[in-house]
Amino acid sequence: MILNNPSLFISEAYINGKWLKGNSSFQVQNPSTNEILTEVPNFGKTETAEAIQFAQEAFLAWKTKSAPERANILKKWHHLLLENEEDLAKILSLEQGKPYKEALGEIRYGASYIEWFAEETRRIYGDIIPGHESDKRIMVIKQAIGVVGIITPWNFPNAMIARKIAPALAAGCSVVVKPAAQTPLSALAMAFLGEKAGIPSGVIQIITSDKASEVGLELCSNPIVKKISFTGSTKTGKILMQQCAGQLKKLSLELGGNAPFIVFEDANIEEAVKGAILSKYRNAGQTCVCSNRIYVQESIYQEFVEKFHQAVIQLKVGDGMNIETDIGPLIDHAALSKVEFLLEDAIKKGANLYCGGIPYTLGGTFYEPTILTNCHDDMLCSTEEIFGPIAPIFSFQTEEEVIARANASEYGLAAYFYSNQINRIYKVFEALEYGMIGVNTGLISTAVAPFGGIKESGFGREGSKYGMDEYLDKKYICIGGISS
């Protein structure tokens, strides 16, 4: 790999400002080619506990820095991330498989959180409240929560970390990060640039490990850690919540989704097709806000399917580093097996394979973008998160019916719909039980808005003015005996 700055390609973990090798290691692979990119240390409970201790020492100093001091360091980090965006995107694309152009988008998106929270650092305002008795004065201040444990998935190796580290550091917290074992290199490169920006030793620690449950248990059970911020599956989120229960440790959980994408007959069909392509096939369908179920009103069903198909066959599958590629490989063989299993189930239950449905000619974990029509709610692709490039299309008749079907999921992360009737738009977004709604758009993620879900998609918000509160405690002070 040719990088402008080769020192960004790092194979060591980062604890207390030191780059460390381990006694044992694990391999990081390129999912496009199966090439071994490098090996990184395989740390466990002991190293995690040490990192937590260093993070606590660093926290005590970091939280006392003035807001402009923290903001300026974060701004510098933001600047360095953008200055190195091409290298960071290459590293990301190689370890994750996503197309280079999407990787570049992710680096910019991740950096936008660092910038946003650098700015928000100066606005950690408290309150003065009129006292309830004449000699009382009441105020509320907000203070950094402490050491934060961060656990992230492989689908956005940069952005999932940026969305958590940025508000944590802005608030004055220090962090111990465990990136996904498939994609630790983006995290290490980010930390390297953080160090260059002046983030003090110990404020960010990166534990590379393929022993997720061991590291996770230490983060959840070590009393120094005051908060866990996790993005990943609902299954793992529930384990972490149980492990945190003993100490009532605070949690932010950004978990699975099962996004409905509804196209009403009054919608602009061309725009709906564009939105569906973006929200379905981004990252080969491997995002938690990807459309999972596409509902199209009966009267426009055939027209939508045909136009959608025309757009799908334009998508180019290939190696992420090829500039023409729209869809990279799935992350691993387990992901491929899941997609194949869901497809088989749908066909067995009567779905029509409109296009795709086979591994791509490139082999490995590449998969053809696929459309299923004639889908029903009893198919697993309607209830499970697909996390792959299969688009099941369902038909519906009435607004009430589609709202009920869209809400019939334990998940509540993102939902999308297309309509041009203002009345309907209000009624539908108020009725959908989801944390985020895209109306006439398939792209909703931005640092300025609160990202997060309800129901079994978790709780807590990332980005926006709300994002900072996840890393702050409120303290109420009552001053008595003030005589007038």
Q: Contact positions toward ligand ADP, by CB under 6 A?
A: 151-153, 178, 180-181, 212-213, 216, 232-233, 236, 239
Quick one: 229 or 382, whose CB is closer to ligand ADP? 229
Catalytic (active site) residue 254? yes
DSSP of 444-474? ---TTS-B--EETTEE--BSHHHHGGGGEEE
CB of 229 to ligand ADP, least distance (A): 12
CB of 239 to ligand ADP, least distance (A): 5
CB of 412 to ligand ADP, least distance (A): 18
Quick one: 29 or 374, whose CB is closer to ligand ADP? 29
Residue 93: count other Cβ atoms within 10 Å of its Cβ: 28
Quick one: 99 or 184, whose CB is closer to ligand ADP? 184
Q: Quick check: 161 and 205 in contact, CB under 8 A?
A: no
Question: Which of 173, 220, 244, 288 is labelled catalytic?
Answer: 288
CB of 162 to ligand ADP, least distance (A): 15
* Helix (H/G/I), strand (E/B), else coil: 49: helix
DSSP of 137-192? EEEEEEEE--EEEEE--SSSTTHHHHHHHHHHHHHT-EEEEE--TT--HHHHHHHH
What is the sign, positive or negative, of the torsion defined by CA atoms of 173, 460, 92, 334? positive
Quick one: 212 or 311, whose CB is closer to ligand ADP? 212
Question: Could you tell me which residues are beta bridge partners of residue 418?
Answer: 263
Q: Quick check: 148 and 227 in contact, CB under 8 A?
A: yes
Q: Quick check: 75 and 117 in contact, CB under 8 A?
A: no
Question: Which of 254, 385, 399, 456 is labelled catalytic?
Answer: 254
Instruction: Name the token pair of 201.
Output: 């030793």
**In degrees rounded to 5, what are phi and psi of residue 443?**
-125, 115
Q: Quick check: 367 and 389 in contact, CB under 8 A?
A: yes
Helices in 354-462 by DSSP H: which ranges? 380-383, 399-407, 422-431
Quick one: 56 or 152, whose CB is closer to ligand ADP? 152
Residue with the shortest CB distance to ligand ADP: 216
Quick one: 232 or 275, whose CB is closer to ligand ADP? 232
CB of 212 to ligand ADP, least distance (A): 3
CB of 335 to ligand ADP, least distance (A): 8
Exposed, middle or buried by CB within 10 Å (0-12, 13-18, 19+), for 23? exposed
**Which residues carry out catalysis?**
254, 288
